[in-house]
Structure 1
Amino acid sequence: MQTVPKANRIHIAIFGKRNAGKSSLINALTKQSVALVSDIAGTTTDPVYKAMEILPLGPVMIIDTAGLDDEGTLGKLRIEKTLEVLNKTDLAIIVIDGTGGVSTFDREIVNEVKKRKIPVVGVINKIDHLKTSEKLVQQSEETLQIDVVGVSTVTGHGIELLKGLMIKNAPQDWEEKAIVGDLINAKDHIVLVVPIDNAAPKGRLILPQVQVIRDILDYEGMCSIVKETELEEFLNRLKQKPFMVITDSQAFAKVAAITPLDIHLTSFSMLFARYKGDLNSYLKGVKAIGSLVPGDKVLIAEGCTHHRQSDDIGTVKIPRWLNEKVGGSLDYEWASGGGFPKDLTKYKLIIHCGACMLNRREVLYRLSNAGEEKIPVINYGILIAYLNGILYRTLAPFPEANALLKKIKKEN
C-alpha cells in the first residue's frame, strides 16, 4: 500500500473552519497522530498529505487543509492554498463544528464543491459535547443537501459510519484505468525502449516506465526492455515480431526509423496523456503549432520537480525543436509540480508533460481551465511525434484519436 504512487490514489480532502476538528478527524481515520492538533486556531497552515488505505476503496491520499475562516494577509494566502486543493480532490469531506452548527463558510465550500461536481460528505464533529446530535445531523443534511454523519474524534463514535459514507460517495470511476492493457491481448509481446542517459535516474527506472511494465503484466502481456542503441539488434534477434514498441518520446525519431511499419509504435508520454487526461483534447494543440509565430508566449508545464540536466527535455530540447519549426524564438514560461498559472489568456499554446505525478482530476482541471479560455494544450509525446512527422503512426494504437486528427487536418 505504501508503494502505490501518490498520483494513483483517490484524493480525499478535508475542509472546514479553524478548530472544527479537521486534523483530529484525520488522526481518527488513520488511527495515528498524523496531523498536528492544538486548541489554537489556525494550527494547520499548509495542506498536509497522508497516504492510507480505506477498504474497499484501497489506497487513498488524505489531505488536511487550513481553516476557511483564516484571517489576515497570511490567512488569505492559506485560504487560496486550501481552495487550490479542490483542483485535485476526488472526494471532499466538510467538517462542521457541532457546537456552532452549519456556518456561512460551510455553505460556501459545499456550494463550490458541488459546482465542481466533486462528491462530498458532511461531518458534524464534537457530538460528544451535544445532547441531541441526531437533530443537528438531520438539519445539516436538509440545509446542505449532502450526506452527513455525526462523529466524535475523541471517542471514535461515528468514524466507521463516516468511512461507509466515504465509500458510498466516492467517484464511481475511482478504479484505475488501464495504461496500455486495454490495447493489447494476452501473450502479446511489447518492447519498451528506455534510454539511459544523463537524465536517467541512477539505479532505477522512472515511474511511467515501471507503471507500464506492471500494467502489461496485469493484462497477461509479455515485455522486454532495451535501450534505443540496442533496439535494432534486438528486433533482428526475435523470431516473431512484437505487437508494439513503446519508447521515451525523446527517442521517437531514432526508434521510428528502426521499428518496422507493421509494428505499433507509441510513447510513454502519449499513453499517459490518455491515462491521466484526455488524449483527444491534446490533439487540438496540433492545430495551434501551425499558427505560432516568433515571440508568441508558450507555457511548458511539468507535473514534477526534478534536477535539470544540461539537455533537459522541458527547458532545452522542446524549446529548441519548436523554435526550429516556427523559424524563430518563442517566449517560454515554465510551471512545475503543483504550480499552474491562474491566468492562461496570455499563452498561445500550453505544452504539458505526461503528468505521471499528478492525479487525473488535477490534469482534467487544467485542461478544463485551458478549454474555457480557448487556449490549446498539447502533450510532450504528441508534440515530439508531430515535429518528427510520425504523429499518425504513433496514434495508430488509438483509433478514435487518429480519426480526430484526420478531422482536424481536414478542417485546416
Structure 2
Amino acid sequence: MLTGQDISIVSNFPGTTTDPVKKSVEIFNIGPAILIDTAGIDDLGEIGNKKIRKSQEVIRKVDCAILLIAGNQFGDYEVQLIEQFKKNEVPYLFAHNKNDIDKIAAITVTAIKQHSNAEIIDFSTINPADKDRLITALKRIIPATAFQRSSLIGDLVRPKDVVLLVTPIDSEAPEGRMILPQNQTIRDALDNQCVTVVVRESEIPDFLQLGIKPALAITDSSVFGIVAEALPEEIPLTSFSILFARMKGNFTAFLEGTPHISRLKDGDHILLLESCTHQTSCDDIGRVKIPKLLQQFTGKRLHFTVVSGLSELPSNIRNFSLVIQCGGCMITRKQLLNRLHPFIQQGVPVTNYGMVLAYIHGIFRRATKMLEKEPVNLPLFPDN
C-alpha cells in the first residue's frame, strides 16, 4: 500500500513471506525510506525458526515499525513482537488491515490496550484515503533522529562561503556518477547557500591559482595525504567519511578510539565493518588500503576480519583490538549505533575509515578539531 506497487508475493496461506523484502520509496514529509516486509513469527519447524530469526534481526535495525494484523487476530505472537519493540526501543503502531471486510472490534482494541498504548489504525489497502492516514500516523512515531536531516556542514560554514570538495576518480569510483557521500555533501553545501567547487586531487594547484580561499575543504579520505600537503594549513580540512561519522555515529567514541592505533601489537585482530556490499578492487579502501597502511604505520603484523553489509557480527567481539567502521552512508544512524554499541560496551576501541587515514597521515587533529566544538549527535545509549 505504501509503495503503490506489487512488491511481495502474498496469499491467504501462512508462511508465504520468507526473507525480509525491501523497497526504497520517497514518502512526502518523511523523505527517503526503506520499507521492509518481514515474515510473521508464528511459523513452525526449522524453516519457520529461520524466518523468525530474520524478522527479529530486522527489528534491531529499523527506526519504527508497523505491527500488521487482520481479522481481529491478536494473541501471543503479537505480544512477543510488542516485547521485542520495547526491548529494542523501536516506536511502533498497530495497523488492522482489511477493515472493508472485517472492522476492528472493541474486544480486540481492549486486548491490545492491555499490552500497549501504541496507536491503532483501522484501514484497508483498497481505500486510498487510508494510505494518508497511515503515513500521518507514521510521522507521529518516527523519532527525530531517524530523519537524519541534521546538516553535515551547516555549523561549519556561512552563506556564500566557498566549499572545496576533492573527489578522486580511481578504480573505486562508480562509472559515470559520484558516490553517495559526495552527492549528499554537495547538496548540504547548496542547502546552506554555499558556493561549491568540485575538483580532483590533481587539480588543487589549479584551483589555488585562482586566488580563492575556501572556508572549508572536504576530501575523500583515500587522498588525505595528498590534499593535506597541497592545501595551506589555515584552510580547515576534513573528509566525507569523518562528516558522516559525526552525523551518524558515536563521534566521541571515534575520537577516543582512533589513537589506539598507536597501541596495536603484533598479532592483534582488527575488525573492518563495511555497511554496504560492493565489488572490491586493488584500490579498495577498506579491504586493501587501510590494512596495508596500518601495518606500515604500526610496523606490526595484524590480522583483519571484514564484515560487509549488515551481516551478523563475530561472537568473540572482545578478541578484537580495534573496530574500524566505514562512513555508513548506506545505513541509518540507529543501525550504525546499534552495530557499534556491543564493542563500546565491552571497551573495544572503535574508529572510522576517515579518522584512521587522517591519523596515519599525521593530520588527525587538523581533520577533526573543527568538529569537536559542538558534536552533532548525542549517544543513543545512556552508558556511552
TM-score, length-scaled by structure 1: 0.84
Cα distance, 1:34 vs structure 2: 2.5
Confirm or deny that 1:362 pairs with 2:335: yes
Does the 8 Å contact 1:151/1:157 carry over to 2? no
**1:32 is matched by which residue type in structure 2?**
Q
Please report how far the alpha carbon of residue 141 of structure 1 lies from its aligned counterpart in structure 2 after TM superposition.
2.5
Contact 2:145 2:333 in 1 (8 A): no
Tell me, what secondary structure is at the counterpart of 1:230? helix
Residue in 1 aligned with 2:240?
A: 268
The answer to whether the aligner puts 1:227 opposite 2:186 as a matched pair is no
Aligned to 1:241: 213
**Deviation at 1:256?**
0.8
**What residue in structure 2 maps to residue 117 of structure 1?**
89
**Structure 1 residue 157: deviation in Å?**
8.3
Aligned equivalent of 1:81: 54
Q: Which residue of 1 is the match for residue 382 of structure 2?
A: none
Q: Which residue of 1 aligns with 2:109?
A: 137
Q: How many angstroms apart in 1 are the aligned matches of 2:279 and 2:23?
A: 25
CA separation in 2, counterparts of 1:53 and 1:197?
31
Runs of 5+ consecutive residues of structure 2 not aligned to the other structure:
376-384
Q: In the alignment, is residue 104 of structure 1 matched against residue 37 of structure 2?
A: no
Cα-to-partner distance string for 1:158-210 (whole Å, 9 max, x where unaligned):
55443332121121334311112331100110111111122222221111111
Equivalent of 2:135 in 130, 155, 163: 163
Percent pairwise identity:
39
Q: Is 2:31 aligned against 1:58? A: yes
* Structure 1 residues 340 and 275: CA distance shift in structure 2, 3 A: farther
Between the aligned partners of 1:328 and 1:75, the Cα distance in structure 2 is 46
Q: Does 1:334 align with 2:306?
A: yes
Instruction: Quote the offset at 1:143 in angstroms.
Output: 2.5
State the Cα deviation string for residues 36-88 of structure 1 (Å, max 9, x = none). Answer: 11122111111111233443323322110011122222222222221121232
Contact 1:269 1:379 in 2 (8 A): yes
Note the alpha carbon deviations across 1:235-289, whole angstroms, 9 max, x for none.
1x22231111111111111111111111100011101111222322211222422
- How far did 1:392 drift? 0.6
Shifted more, 167-176 versus 209-218: the winner is 167-176
Unpaired runs of at least 5, structure 1: 1-27, 403-412
Indicate yes or no: 2:157 matched with 1:184: yes
Give the drift of 1:150.
2.4
> How big is the alpha-carbon RMSD for the aligned residues of Structure 1 and Structure 2?
2.1
1:216 corresponds to which residue? Answer: 189
Q: How many residues align?
A: 373
**Aligned-partner Cα distance in 1 for 2:120–2:153:** 39
**Residue 254 (structure 1) aligns with:** 226
Letter of the aligned partner of 2:158 in structure 1?
N
The alignment status of 1:324 with 2:296, answered yes or no, reads yes
Deviation at 1:155, TM superposition (A): 5.9
What is the deviation of 1:342? 5.0
Distance in 2, matches of 1:39 and 1:92, equals: 22
| Residue in structure 2 matching 1:301, options 258, 273, 295 | 273
Whole-Å separation in 2 of the counterparts to 1:162 and 1:56: 13
Q: Secondary structure in 2 aligned to 1:137?
A: helix
Distance 1:170 1:30 in 2: 18
Q: Deviations over 1:132-169 (max 9, x none)?
A: 62342243123223222223446678554433321211
Cα pair 2:274 2:309 within 8 Å, conserved: yes
Aligned to 1:184, the other structure's residue is in SS state coil
Shift of the alpha carbon at 1:308? 1.2
1:58 partner amino acid: G
Cα displacement (A) at 1:340: 4.0
Return the TM-score normalized by structure 2. Answer: 0.90
Moved more, 124-133 or 286-295: 124-133
SS of corresponding position for 1:348: strand
SS in 1 for 2:237: strand
CA distance in 2, matches of 1:218, 1:372: 37
Report how far residue 302 of structure 1 moved: 0.8
Q: Indicate how the Cα distance of structure 1 residues 54 and 194 shifts in structure 2: closer, same or farther if over 3 A, else same.
A: closer
2:41 maps to 1:68: yes
Q: Which amino acid aligns with 1:348?
A: S
